[in-house]
Amino acid sequence: MPTDVPGGGPGFDDGLPPLVDHHCHGVLRHEPDPGTFAGYLTESDRPPAAGTTFFDTQAGFAVRRWCPPLLGLPAHCPPDRYLARRRELGPDETRRRLLGATGIGAYLLDTGLPGDLTGPTETAEAGGGSGFEVVRLETLAERTAARAHDAEEFTDALARAVQDAAGTAVAFKTVAAYRHGLALDPAPPAPDAVRTAARSWIAAGAPRLTDPVLLRHLVWLAVATGRPLQLHTGFGDPDLRLDHADPALLTDLVRATADTGTDLVLLHCYPYHRQAAYLASVFPHIYADIGLTLTHTGPRAAAVLAEFLELAPFGKLLFSTDAYGLPELYVVGSALFRTGLAAVLGAWTASGAWSETDARRVGAMIAADNARRVYGLAETARAGGPAAAGP
Amino acid sequence: MPTDVPGGGPGFDDGLPPLVDHHCHGVLRHEPDPGTFAGYLTESDRPPAAGTTFFDTQAGFAVRRWCPPLLGLPAHCPPDRYLARRRELGPDETRRRLLGATGIGAYLLDTGLPGDLTGPTETAEAGGGSGFEVVRLETLAERTAARAHDAEEFTDALARAVQDAAGTAVAFKTVAAYRHGLALDPAPPAPDAVRTAARSWIAAGAPRLTDPVLLRHLVWLAVATGRPLQLHTGFGDPDLRLDHADPALLTDLVRATADTGTDLVLLHCYPYHRQAAYLASVFPHIYADIGLTLTHTGPRAAAVLAEFLELAPFGKLLFSTDAYGLPELYVVGSALFRTGLAAVLGAWTASGAWSETDARRVGAMIAADNARRVYGLAETARAGGPAAAGP
Amino acid sequence: MPTDVPGGGPGFDDGLPPLVDHHCHGVLRHEPDPGTFAGYLTESDRPPAAGTTFFDTQAGFAVRRWCPPLLGLPAHCPPDRYLARRRELGPDETRRRLLGATGIGAYLLDTGLPGDLTGPTETAEAGGGSGFEVVRLETLAERTAARAHDAEEFTDALARAVQDAAGTAVAFKTVAAYRHGLALDPAPPAPDAVRTAARSWIAAGAPRLTDPVLLRHLVWLAVATGRPLQLHTGFGDPDLRLDHADPALLTDLVRATADTGTDLVLLHCYPYHRQAAYLASVFPHIYADIGLTLTHTGPRAAAVLAEFLELAPFGKLLFSTDAYGLPELYVVGSALFRTGLAAVLGAWTASGAWSETDARRVGAMIAADNARRVYGLAETARAGGPAAAGP
């Protein structure tokens, strides 16, 4: 019986409000084969090394800790047995059981990844919550280019597409870290430079977008809408060069956007989460996210969360799961957040460093209140404004 | 009742000698309004984000933990109540009560910051200790330039001013990290280059000094005096680019100064404190400081101190508060150091990793003995040499 | 009595298999004088700062914790008393007693360091284990150059020497981090470029090899053999610039070697061990090592090991001591690994995060099984293949 889990497992009675998962992805509609399942436990896009398995990772162990009991199996049962039970239940029932145990009340879902994945509303419904869309800028640009006849049409259509998305989505996201690295020229590119870059890119058949001028153009189009912009920082799949994803490299862009009124949310951050927390502490419009990081660090989630909480102002840190493909990752992300938070704040109140009142208040801020404020979710709900687009 | 505090709160009976605060600043002579007070709880120079307050930070929570009891209020009382009580007592009585509870015996005070701040002696007297001056090089240069008629007069006067300061101050400090970043050319600039740079700077009206040639010239003038040189590294206000303040960037300057006989003290260091500890472990003349870092990490102070103590030789780590503006920051800096140190060394002796005799000895080294040796304080006291200049 | 030590001290009964120390060095055949002994406790190549001693470090305290009882003295006895007892026993008996207490069953020994040091077999015999050779590429190149009459003869002889070494050694090692830094051009150098570089180097008398073309040539010669290649990363002696030894700088070389079938093992890694663990998590052929790091962080070994285990897949992390010069460093490296591992995995099983079965399995993987698989030790033993060369 875990000793660090309020309530003894997912299901939790830790006094937190329904969580706002401010950055996540759809899950597979179909049943994955074992290799596909294991592939979602890692950020690697390659096979495991000979003699190893992706189940032998913190993410793999965390799935085996938290998920089997939700499907009627003992914690830590072998992967094969778990996968067999999963197949028996089928993808819909599995999704319903797993998402239903997370306590997530709002899903802000990045719809820019390929695959047969559930959309914002569909994901949220399985979990009994509300869905909202986060629009990935590079995907939007690539889709827009696919429909454009020339660069002029593309740039016009792109401006409209970003504007339209701002009317329905709650935020934008950029993966410039993957496409170029974060050491971007901070200034908005001149219209001429955008046109030239667009012409070259369209002429080349609009392959995967890596042009730094167009990446910057997307960032500034999004910033102009006033919707919060999520930026991938820190670790991710091996497309990325880790040292080029240090959020400190964004400092000049952070300065350049300081007076726009638009908030920037630094996603993931690890292992540069102390750098991200620093930026959040000195720039009013910068926020930091714990998603992905807690999922992949397992029983170290409390320690890593505590590192975030060294410099990050308590109104600047946001919960997410960054779950992708497997509903299991929603379970793991939320369970590790809940148990990590309880461990950290419990220790701090026990030592007298924090009062219990403050600890409860800060827990709710990170779990939900900060995200509701940054993304305007409460107003949204009242005004009947942005809500999940698509299924 | 805190469980990790020997003696239950400031007042402490932890067996440490009177602390040497080898890097600190003056405190406000007047009563700050609430916004000004809150502004000293953060390294940000901007307003808090909408919906947030600087009290919702580790520094804010630490002030509310440690300071209210010293003014007759319960720990963790609301900020408004604390500030009202502070106004009731007035700035002098508040300062006396707070500084009197720190157990600091010597204040090495950087006098280069603007504002109506207490000087070294004035600060020390409120706390019942001795004051010493640390001269900030960039401020000295800017003040010298303001009185010089041309570049030649400036460079001559600057050389004299540094020399004079070495006669009364116990150390110099550079904030080149803010003005240019730490990736400085390590060699002393040639006299011609200094003259050229000085001419340009004086001709421009000697604005805030950011010229790398003049910054390096200041460093080498200071090194030539033999007085220890403190260097800002790591986090600070948003003037600074964090990744340009990694102390590892100083490696070439460290090598260039290795045979000068002058010690370099790396201030703050976070989040690059492991890098700073490494430099202190391989270069005899390099020291590392925990100031600012513990204050801003609250209940994580023990963990961060432990990270410093991975590679830092025990004779190379120095306590400071880096307190500035508020006497509260002296309380927090010293209390977090004392409780953090007790937690770390207590755990290490309990496990048998360290003997109790060694733990007591190392505690005293970090708290006071290392600083006394590096800054020559014992000899100074005997010789009637450098002491606080000004009030 | 230490509370975190299964069995109460070296001798251990922690259920681990005989350890495979996949990266270590010979120890002094003669009795070192006190200054020489202390010099092996630090990565510094300079004298200690005035008023300090290298015994006042985590490595020094760890030696005093673990080694005196093995020579019949109380833990934490003063250095002088320990050194006197050591002299009394003599180097052979000291070595036998200390190595015999480590539980190391296989020594993969880098023979590229100068000095009167024990070889693989000699070291292993003192500890009751088997010895294997790791060939340091830069030393091999410098020795080959010393025997070559011209650049052509050198490049031919070098290719043969690497090929020959691959027949007897279990791995290669590069210290390019020291000689140039890890930001190397990832591509194999063209034959012409190698010839030109070799000519310049030989013409200059073949001094310490720092030419980046020749360093890359060595890396690719080694990679071509299929033997695992160990790369120094992270901290080391002050020859090295720490920020140029961040393993993330190897990303392009990692990509360039991804399809060669050769494994790369990132040594030491600290303080960039989270970066190294990330690389091991996304690239199948990348492994990470804890050696040197645990030895120098003392009671923080558990915390640092836990940081490695955030992202590192459990099949990708390898135990070593990186012991050098003193048999004491074998004791400290293995004791800190054993106690650190027991502390970390014990906490994770106690909380329910890991099952006990998994914890035992993963412990054995890091201690021995991963290294046996990567270096082909089991097959080697069966085939009578690579074994220790020289004494």
Closest in A52, A243, A298 to C353, CB measured = A298
Is C121 part of a structural domain of the chain?
Answer: yes
Q: What is the pLDDT of residues B44-83, one digit of tens each?
A: 999 999 999 999 999 999 999 999 999 999 999 999 999 9
Return the residue of B nearest to C62 by Cα.
B353
Question: How far is it, in rounded angstroms, from Cα C289 to Cα C316?
Answer: 9
Write down the mean pLDDT value for chain B: 93
- Read out DSSP for A301-359? HHHHHHHHHHHS-TTSEE------B-HHHHHHHHHHHHHHHHHHHHHHHHTTSS-HHHH
pLDDT > 50? residue B1:
no
Q: What is the pLDDT of residues B277-303, one digit of tens each?
A: 999 999 999 999 999 999 999 999 999
C66 in Cβ contact with C77 (< 8 Å): no
Is B212 part of a structural domain of the chain?
Answer: yes
Q: Which residues contact A73 (CB under 8 A, 6 or more apart)?
A: A81, A82, A85
Query: Torsion angle, CA of B13/B14/B16/B21, rounded to 10 degrees?
Result: -80
pLDDT at C293: 96
Question: How far is it, in rounded angstroms, from Cα A245 to Cα B214?
Answer: 33
Residue C189, token pair as written in the block: 């150098």
B40 in Cβ contact with B329 (< 8 Å): yes
pLDDT band at B378 (very low <50, low <70, confident <90, very high): confident
Task: Read off φ and ψ for residue B245, nearest 5 degrees.
Answer: -115, 15
Q: Work out the minimum CA distance from A61 to partner chain C, whole angstroms.
A: 7
Contact C242 B352 (CB under 8 A): no
* Residue in the structure block whose two tokens are 């002030």: B63
- C181 vs A: CB within 8 A: no
Residue B40 sits in a domain whose CATH number is: 3.20.20.140
Task: Read off φ and ψ for residue A28, nearest 5 degrees.
Answer: -60, 135
pLDDT at C7: 33
Query: Torsion angle, CA of A304/A309/A310/A316, rounded to 10 degrees?
Result: 130
Number of domains in chain C: 1
Q: Which residues contact B178 (CB under 8 A, 6 or more apart)?
A: B232, B236, B237, B239, B240
Question: How far is it, in rounded angstroms, from Cα A286 to Cα A296?
Answer: 24
B214 in Cβ contact with B197 (< 8 Å): yes
CA A227 from centre of chain: 16
pLDDT band at C14 (very low <50, low <70, confident <90, very high): confident
- Its ipTM equals 0.95
pLDDT at B13: 66
pLDDT at A382: 32
**Sequence letter at residue C369:** D
- A251 vs B: CB within 8 A: yes
Q: Which domain holds residue A239?
A: 19-383
User: What's the average pLDDT block by block, 10 residues per block, for chain A (391 residues)?
Assistant: 34 83 98 97 96 98 98 98 98 97 98 94 96 98 96 98 98 97 97 97 96 98 98 96 98 98 98 98 98 97 98 98 98 98 98 98 98 84 38 43
pLDDT at A276: 98
Closest in C281, C358, C373 to A42, CB measured = C281
Cis peptide before B120 (omega within 30 of 0): no
Evaluate the CA torsion angle A137, A142, A145, A146 in order and state its sign.
negative
- HEC string of A125-140? HHHCCEEEEEEEHHHH
pLDDT at A20: 98
Closest in B249, B263, B352 to C243, CB measured = B249
Which residue blocks in chain B are alpha helix, DSSP H? 34-39, 58-66, 79-100, 120-127, 137-147, 151-168, 176-179, 191-203, 212-225, 251-256, 273-282, 293-297, 301-311, 327-350, 356-364, 370-374, 377-383
Closest in B248, B310, B373 to C242, CB measured = B248
Q: What is the pLDDT of residues A106-150, one digit of tens each?
A: 999 999 998 999 999 999 999 999 999 999 999 999 999 999 999
pLDDT band at B219 (very low <50, low <70, confident <90, very high): very high
Least confident among A7-21, A145-159, B186-200, B328-342: A7-21
Question: How far is it, in rounded angstroms, from Cα B173 to Cα B231?
Answer: 6
- A31 vs C: CB within 8 A: no
Which of B211, B219, B214, B132 is closest to B174 using CA atoms?
B219
pLDDT > 90? residue C386:
no
pLDDT at C3: 31
pLDDT band at C75 (very low <50, low <70, confident <90, very high): very high
Question: How far is it, in rounded angstroms, from Cα C108 to Cα C124?
Answer: 9
Return the residue of C nearest to B255 by Cα.
C238
Q: What is the pLDDT of residues C212-254, one digit of tens each?
A: 999 999 999 999 999 999 999 999 999 999 999 999 999 999 9
* Rounded average pLDDT over C185-200: 97
Q: In what order do the strands lie in the sheet with B229-233?
A: B19-24, B104-110, B130-136, B171-174, B229-233, B264-268, B286-289, B317-318
Is A89 part of a structural domain of the chain?
Answer: yes
pLDDT > 80? residue C300:
yes
Who has greater pLDDT, C97 or B13? C97
Say how many CB pairs under 8 Å bridge A and C.
Answer: 109
pLDDT at C361: 98
**Which whole-number Å values give the CA distances from C79 to A160, B337, C56, C85, in the listed order?**
75, 29, 10, 10
Evaluate the CA torsion angle A7, A12, A17, A21 in order and state its sign.
positive
Question: How far is it, in rounded angstroms, from Cα C7 to Cα B362?
Answer: 28
For testing contact with chain C, the best of B252, B266, B278, B370 (most C CBs within 10 A): B278
Closest in C274, C281, C373 to A43, CB measured = C281
pLDDT at A14: 85
For testing contact with chain C, the best of A73, A268, A274, A300 (most C CBs within 10 A): A300
Which of A44, A53, A57, A48 is closest to A238 using CA atoms?
A44
Residue A308, token pair as written in the block: 């975030």
Is B389 part of a structural domain of the chain?
Answer: no
Is C12 part of a structural domain of the chain?
Answer: no
Which residue blocks in chain A are alpha helix, DSSP H? 34-39, 58-66, 79-100, 120-127, 137-147, 151-168, 176-179, 191-203, 212-225, 251-256, 273-282, 293-297, 301-311, 327-350, 356-364, 370-374, 377-383
What percentage of chain C reaches a pLDDT higher than 70? 93
pLDDT at B14: 85
Cis peptide before C247 (omega within 30 of 0): no
Q: Which residues contact B232 (CB under 8 A, 6 or more apart)?
A: B173, B174, B175, B176, B177, B178, B245, B267, B268
Question: How far is it, in rounded angstroms, from Cα A82 to Cα A84?
Answer: 5
Is C87 part of a structural domain of the chain?
Answer: yes
Q: Work out the minimum CA distance from B265 to partner chain A, whole angstroms.
A: 22
- C217 vs A: CB within 8 A: no
Contact A315 B237 (CB under 8 A): no
- B239 vs A: CB within 8 A: no
Half-sphere exposure at residue C252, Cβ-oriented, CA atoms within 13 angstroms: 11
Which residue blocks in chain C are alpha helix, DSSP H? 34-39, 58-66, 79-99, 120-127, 137-147, 151-168, 176-179, 191-203, 212-225, 251-256, 273-282, 293-297, 301-311, 327-350, 356-364, 370-374, 377-383
Contact B270 A274 (CB under 8 A): yes
- HEC string of C198-255? HHHHHHCCCCCCCCHHHHHHHHHHHHHHCCCEEEEECCCCCCCCHHHHCHHHHHHHHH
Beta-ladder partners of B20: B106
Region of B374 on the Ramachandran plot (φ > 0 left; ψ -120 to 50 alpha; else beta)? alpha
Return the residue of C nearest to B263 by Cα.
C49
pLDDT band at C5 (very low <50, low <70, confident <90, very high): very low
Question: What b/e string do you get for B95-109 counting C-beta neighbours within 10 Å, with b at 16 or more?
Answer: bbbbbbbbbbbbbbb
SS3 of residue C285 by DSSP:
coil
Beta-ladder partners of B135: B172
Set of chain B residues whose Cβ sits within 8 Å of the Cβ of C75: 352, 355
Q: Work out the minimum CA distance from A17 to partner chain C, whole angstroms.
A: 24
Is B12 part of a structural domain of the chain?
Answer: no
Set of chain A residues whose Cβ sits within 8 Å of the Cβ of B1: 352
Q: Work out the minimum CA distance from A205 to partner chain C, whole angstroms.
A: 26
Contact C299 B249 (CB under 8 A): no
Which of B82, B92, B98, B106 is closest to B34 using CA atoms?
B82
